[in-house]
């Protein structure tokens, strides 16, 4: 990996030929236009909207209100509740699926016959449309008729209320998220485990290290870059979870699953308070960015990437 990148780097300088000074910029232009017209311009526009009281259902005249929306957001307990729930949701879902993914990778790394087929089957959940995932889990979680409660009673456990009770609703959608996205983590962690060098393990075997010692002192440190990348992507995606929660609970019961994206959808598209909704969007974006920056700092992500970039 590093080899190919370093040769490409040396070549990159040589590639420039006479009369090609503008070629690179020309090639970047389509992507640049797409990014700015569809991406950054609407975001800047949204910053402007967030300073107004724009609401199309009130006649659609935008009056400038300064930082009024941001001040209002500060005291919006419903929003902070939603943000708190999202933190809990992301933390529970990402840690559980990471642990599960590492365990699965160790298990499937034994490479017995038939494991390739099983691994392929395990991949499927992450490919299913999240709306379909929400539908099928809602069918399975019906408290009176659902198959999950049937299975629980058959193996002698208490049936659950799942998404119908405010005490188990959040855990239920966490379970669905774990089900859908553990395969994603597993795929990446497994790729990491498969490409680990052999020699440290041979050395450990000669030194007579036990399996648990080997795992914590060799496997895990070597896997770290891969785990960091998978976790970062998963945090970003878990933070925006909307589809399955929308289908299964719509934020209920009693706001127990009112994730940030569900709450923002309600502010923006149920009451069309677009000025206020834009302010909340920007606050959310800033908070997400801070979380990502803290994570990249703590996990050494920037170092991993710059090592990969080889420059």
Partner 1 sequence: MSAHRAPIRRFSKMILVYILALLATAFFAFPIFWMITASLKSDQSITTYPPVWVFAPTLQNYVKLVEELGIMKMFINSAVIVGLSTCLAMVCGTLAAYALARFDIRNKQLIAFEVLSIRMLPPIVSVVPMFILARWLGVFDTYWLLIAAYALSGLPFVVWVMRVFIQDIPQSIEEAALIDGCSRLEAFWRVMLPLLLPGLAATMVIVFMFAWNEFLLASMLTSNAAKTLPVIAANTLNAKSIAWGMASAAGVIMSLPVVVLVLLMQRYLVRGLTLGAVKG
Contacts of partner 1 in 74-103 (CB under 8 A): none
Residue 121 interacts with partner 1 (CB under 8 A): yes or no = yes
Crossing angle between the packed helical segments 130-140 and 169-194, to the nearest 10 degrees: 130
Residue 211 interacts with partner 1 (CB under 8 A): yes or no = no
Q: Nearest distance from residue 128's CB to partner 1, in Å? A: 5
Return the number of the residue (209 or 233) whose C-beta is nearest partner 1.
233
- Among the listed residues 67, 123, 157, 205, the single contact to partner 1 using CB under 8 A: 123
- Among the listed residues 25, 77, 212, 298, the single contact to partner 1 using CB under 8 A: 25
Report the SS3 class of residue 64. Answer: strand
- Among the listed residues 51, 226, 245, 256, the single contact to partner 1 using CB under 8 A: 226
Q: Nearest distance from residue 230's CB to partner 1, in Å? A: 7
- Among the listed residues 2, 95, 167, 195, the single contact to partner 1 using CB under 8 A: 195
DSSP of 163-191: GGSTTTHHHHHHHHHHHHHHHHHHHHHHH
Residue 295 interacts with partner 1 (CB under 8 A): yes or no = no
CA distances from 62 to 69, 74, 216 (A): 13, 21, 58
How far is CA 81 from its chain centroid? Answer: 20
Angle, CA of 13, 17 and 21, to the nearest 5°: 90
Return the number of the residue (23 or 220) whose C-beta is nearest partner 1.
23
Stretch that binds partner 1, among 67-75, 156-164, 201-209, 235-243 (CB under 8 A): 235-243
**Surface-to-core class of residue 90, CB atoms within 10 Å of its CB (0-12 exposed, 13-18 middle, 19+ buried):** buried
Q: Are 125 and 203 in contact (CB under 8 A)?
A: no
- Among the listed residues 95, 289, 294, 303, the single contact to partner 1 using CB under 8 A: 289
Residue 223 interacts with partner 1 (CB under 8 A): yes or no = no
Return the number of the residue (7 or 217) whose C-beta is nearest partner 1.
7
Q: Nearest distance from residue 84's CB to partner 1, in Å? A: 17
* CA-wise closest residue to 49 among 297, 262, 281, 306: 281
- For the chain, give the number of residues: 311
Number of Cβ within a 10 Å radius of residue 30: 9
Return the number of the residue (251 or 277) whose C-beta is nearest partner 1.
277
Residue 164 interacts with partner 1 (CB under 8 A): yes or no = no
- Among the listed residues 63, 74, 269, 297, the single contact to partner 1 using CB under 8 A: 269
- Among the listed residues 38, 77, 211, 298, the single contact to partner 1 using CB under 8 A: 38
**Cβ neighbours for 164, distance < 8 A, ≥ 6 positions apart:** 143, 253
Stretch that binds partner 1, among 73-81, 198-206, 209-217, 264-272 (CB under 8 A): 264-272
- Applying CB under 8 A, the site for partner 1 has a residue count of 103
- Among the listed residues 98, 162, 183, 257, the single contact to partner 1 using CB under 8 A: 183
Residue 282 interacts with partner 1 (CB under 8 A): yes or no = yes
How far apart (Å, rounded) are the C-alpha atoms in residues 55 and 49? 10
Tell me the Ramachandran region of residue 171: left when phi exceeds 0, alpha when psi lies from -120 to 50, beta otherwise. alpha
Q: Nearest distance from residue 304's CB to partner 1, in Å? A: 8
How far is CA 136 from its chain centroid? Answer: 21
- Among the listed residues 18, 39, 207, 216, the single contact to partner 1 using CB under 8 A: 39
């Amino acid at each position: 990996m590093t080899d190919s990148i370093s040769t490409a780097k040396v070549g990159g300088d040589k590639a420039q030929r006479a009369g090609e000074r503008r070629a690179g910029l020309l090639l970047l232009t389509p992507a640049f236009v797409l990014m700015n017209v569809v991406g950054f311009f609407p975001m800047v526009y949204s910053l402007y909207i967030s300073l107004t009281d724009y609401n199309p259902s009130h006649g659609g005249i935008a009056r400038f209100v300064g930082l009024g929306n941001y001040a209002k957001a500060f005291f919006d307990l419903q929003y902070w509740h939603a943000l708190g729930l999202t933190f809990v949701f992301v933390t529970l879902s990402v840690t559980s699926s990471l642990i599960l993914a590492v365990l699965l990778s160790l298990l499937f790394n034994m490479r017995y016959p038939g494991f390739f087929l099983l691994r392929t089957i395990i991949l499927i959940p992450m490919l299913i449309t999240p709306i379909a995932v929400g539908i099928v889990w809602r069918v399975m979680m019906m408290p009176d008729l659902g198959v999950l409660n049937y299975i629980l009673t058959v193996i002698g456990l208490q049936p659950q209320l799942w998404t119908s009770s405010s005490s188990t609703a959040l855990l239920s959608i966490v379970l669905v998220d774990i089900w859908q996205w553990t395969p994603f983590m597993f795929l990446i962690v497994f790729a990491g485990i498969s490409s680990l060098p052999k020699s440290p393990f041979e050395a450990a075997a000669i030194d007579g290290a036990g399996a648990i010692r080997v795992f914590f002192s060799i496997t895990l440190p070597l896997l770290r870059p891969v785990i960091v990348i998978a976790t970062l992507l998963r945090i970003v995606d878990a933070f925006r979870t909307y589809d399955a929660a929308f289908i299964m609970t719509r934020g209920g019961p009693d706001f127990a699953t009112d994730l940030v994206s569900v709450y923002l959808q309600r502010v923006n598209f149920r009451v069309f308070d677009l000025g206020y909704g834009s302010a909340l969007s920007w606050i959310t974006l800033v908070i997400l960015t801070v979380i990502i920056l803290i994570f990249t700092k703590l996990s050494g992500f920037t170092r991993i990437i710059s090592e990969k970039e080889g420059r």
